[in-house]
Amino acid sequence: MIEAHGLTKRYGDKTAVDDLSFTVRPGEVTGFLGPNGSGKSTTMRMILGLDAPTSGTVTIAGLPFHRLPNAPCMVGALLDAKAVHGGRSAYHHLLCLAQLAGLPRQRVDAVLELVGLSEVADLRTGEFSLGMGQRLGIAAAMLGDPQVLLFDEPVNGLDPEGIHWVRQLMRGLAAEGRTVFVSSHLMSEMAVTADHLVVIGRGRLLAESSTEEFISRHAAGFARVRTADGADQAKERERLTGVLRAAGGEVLAEADGALRVSGLPLAAISDLAWEEKLRLYELSPHQASLEEAYMQLTQGAVEYRSDRNAPVEDALAEVAA
């Protein structure tokens, strides 16, 4: 369990994290979402006691990080896969971390096996690919078999197989009852991995809810409706549009001739069409993606950036004119 209360971090007059409170529970994967520069990594560093908050607190199992009796046996973290000494072998990198926690050498062999790096254990980490580096970072996080795991952008630079592997690993860890906190800017990845979401923008909490609830609240679902093919198709489409709008639906024409309807349940659309004696060749439900929900929610942060670029764009326009 990770609990943040009023977590704030200021650098001079710039506020990186602003009064952030959230809870990360055991037994599920919690996604930590936000645009670049929104304060995700700063928050991660404060959780791990690397950066001191300007105000507010964050605890793991009720204790601030530096008070944990043996941090690696309670918390495992992957912050930056490239943060290793490239001249040291994978084995020795993990060994020095295991020794810090007073763990036996067998744990090093065990985590190397876990991430599939046993055969390259004696290779210097500087020769590792990005994917191997991520696996090494995950191995380091797993050394103490911790109950709480933090991953900062763990699938960055991984190939599809690696992404699948990390996803399975995180789901598996959560299924074992562990607390898994994963930051990402890849919405599609979080949609299939995270049970719960903490979304931030410009250092502030924007939403904290289950993934499903987040999607349904921040992006409406819609139906795709297509009238029967034939000479009258265009006319029938117009008639249907009129009826649906009269019933309170929002109707948009799609490029392929179908209609995109929101605000009406599928059954109501079907009933209205039947009353009009219109045959439908398609009536399909569509779930708004997490990506759309996220874009909608974080629009503020994005617009903020556009505004800041505006003077540059104006200047460019002037030059062009």
Partner 1 sequence: MSPVLLPTAPVRPEPPRSRLSHALASEWTKIRSVQSTLWTLASMFALILGIGLLADLYERGQTPGQPYLDNGLGGFIVGQIPVVTLGVLAVSSEYGTGMIRTTLTAYPRRASLLTAKALVFFGLAFVLGTLATGLQVLGGMVLLSGQGTDPTGGQILLAVLGGGLYLALIGLFALSVGTLLRHSAGALAVMLGLLLLPFILALFMPSGPRDDLLTYSPINMSASLYGDGTGSLGGWPLLGVLAGATAVVLAGAFAALQRRDV
Where on the chain is the footprint of partner 1 (CB under 8 A)? Answer: 45, 48-52, 65-66, 68-75, 77, 79-80, 82-89, 92, 95-97, 99-103, 107, 110, 113-116, 140, 142-145, 161, 164-165, 168-169, 172-173, 176
Between 122 and 307, name the residue whose CB sits nearer to partner 1.
Answer: 122
Between 76 and 249, name the residue whose CB sits nearer to partner 1.
Answer: 76
Between 55 and 299, name the residue whose CB sits nearer to partner 1.
Answer: 55
Q: How far is the CB of 170 from partner 1 (least distance, A)?
A: 10
Q: How far is the CB of 198 from partner 1 (least distance, A)?
A: 20
Between 47 and 272, name the residue whose CB sits nearer to partner 1.
Answer: 47
Between 176 and 314, name the residue whose CB sits nearer to partner 1.
Answer: 176
Tokens of 33: 């979402």
Between 27 and 285, name the residue whose CB sits nearer to partner 1.
Answer: 27
User: HEC profile for the chain?
Assistant: CEEEEEEEEEECCEEEEEEEEEEECCCCEEEEECCCCCCHHHHHHHHCCCCCCCEEEEEECCECHHHCCCHHHHEEEECCCCCCCCCCEHHHHHHHHHHHCCCCHHHHHHHHHHHCCHHHCCCEHHHCCHHHHHHHHHHHHHCCCCCEEEEECCCCCCCHHHHHHHHHHHHHHHHCCCEEEEEECCHHHHHHHCCEEEEEECCEEEEEEEHHHHHHHHCCCEEEEEECCCCCHHHHHHHHHHHHHHCCCEEEECCCCCEEEECCCHHHHHHHHHHCCCCEEEEEEECCCHHHHHHHHHHHHHHHHHHHHHHHHHHHHHHHC
Q: How far is the CB of 27 from partner 1 (least distance, A)?
A: 14
Q: How far is the CB of 23 from partner 1 (least distance, A)?
A: 21
Q: How far is the CB of 56 from partner 1 (least distance, A)?
A: 15
Q: How far is the CB of 196 from partner 1 (least distance, A)?
A: 20
Q: How far is the CB of 134 from partner 1 (least distance, A)?
A: 12
Between 164 and 217, name the residue whose CB sits nearer to partner 1.
Answer: 164
